[in-house]
Amino acid sequence: MIRKILKYLLFTLLTIIVVAAAFFTYANIAVNQRFEKSYQIELKPLTISHDSVSLALGEHLSVIKGCTDCHASDLGGKVMVDDPAMGRLVTPNLTKGKGGLPADYSTEDWIKAIRHGLSRENTPLKLMPSQEFNLLTEKDLAALIAYCQSLAPIDRELPKLEIRPVGVLLTHFDKIPMVPAELIDHHREVVADIPNEVSLENGQYLATSCSGCHRTDLKGGDGHIPGSPKVADITGSGNVGKWTEGQFITALRTGGTPEGKHLDNNFMPWQMTKAYTDTELKSLYIYLKSL
């Protein structure tokens, strides 16, 4: 009897292993097809000017759009995560130093990467959140590229990005935004410029940088990675609806909320929102309250 049960258990276990292995092989092939897909896009010409006003705007954008968070504060790239199950997530060195971008990395290549989430070979960049950068105005994109092109070379050679089994499965089930190029309407028209003043329109424009975590309706939801806190509702129906403009600005500059909570920069990146100007935070405030 016992032998029979053992035999049965062993058989069940083997079946589970075989089915799991077959499923993983399938998921791996499907994910690799998504990584290798070639996108055909048409790029509109963009005039890049390296004057001091553009460079200053570009530097500001590189902070408030999170480039310096992921690509390191000097934009020389870094290993963000190295986990045996998940993978090694590496951001490239964006300078022209050793280990950096190739000498012939062109303005078109910059547009492809930032606006479309594509490599120069037209395949998707992994995790590079271009769905948030896709709607950058022509003026902001040009300033950002001008600034990146003028970076002093940094010699930093980094290991290759590698997606390991858990990363493959999370990608397959769309639990992490691994392939932002899939989330972008590559033919969408973009605005040339949005005046830098306190306005609802400017607030709406700036809020695209919050939508990756707070969702497109900005009403929040479950945490992005297992174990991370719930993402707050930041529309008028959440706490922000009760805050004054001053309290909102303090929360985004210090991480301290009127309810006495201290926001953890690892989940809510207030070190990044700290760099927003008064005009930008005031615009965000009126836009979020209006929702």
Residues that bind ligand HEC in the complex, under the rule CB under 6 A: 62, 65-67, 69-71, 89, 91-92, 94, 110, 113-114, 119-120, 125-129, 133, 144, 148, 161, 209-210, 212-214, 229, 231-232, 234, 238-240, 251, 257, 261, 263-264, 267-269, 273, 284
Angle between helices 245-254 and 278-290 in degrees, nearest 10: 120
As measured in angstroms, the least distance from the Cβ of 122 to ligand HEC is 11
Query: Which CB, 14 or 152, lies closer to ligand HEC?
Result: 152
As measured in angstroms, the least distance from the Cβ of 161 to ligand HEC is 5
Query: Which CB, 27 or 161, lies closer to ligand HEC?
Result: 161
Query: Which CB, 107 or 119, lies closer to ligand HEC?
Result: 119
**Looking at this protein, which amino acid is placed at residue 283?**
S
Query: Which CB, 1 or 33, lies closer to ligand HEC?
Result: 33
As measured in angstroms, the least distance from the Cβ of 19 to ligand HEC is 31
Could you tell me which of 273, 278, 270 has the C-alpha nearest to residue 198? 278
Give the pair of three-digit tokens for residue 195: 């005046």
Please tell me the distance from the alpha carbon of residue 27 to that of residue 25, in angstroms, as a whole number: 6
End-to-end Cα spacing for the chain = 67
Q: 118 φ, ψ to 5°? A: -120, 150
Query: Which CB, 67 or 184, lies closer to ligand HEC?
Result: 67
Please tell me the distance from the alpha carbon of residue 91 to that of residue 99, in angstroms, as a whole number: 12
Query: Which CB, 263 or 291, lies closer to ligand HEC?
Result: 263
As measured in angstroms, the least distance from the Cβ of 193 to ligand HEC is 17
As measured in angstroms, the least distance from the Cβ of 113 to ligand HEC is 4
Could you tell me which of 157, 166, 35, 161 has the C-alpha nearest to residue 90? 161
As measured in angstroms, the least distance from the Cβ of 38 to ligand HEC is 14
Is 274 within 8 Å of 256 (Cβ atoms)?
Answer: no
Q: 239 φ, ψ to 5°? A: -60, -35
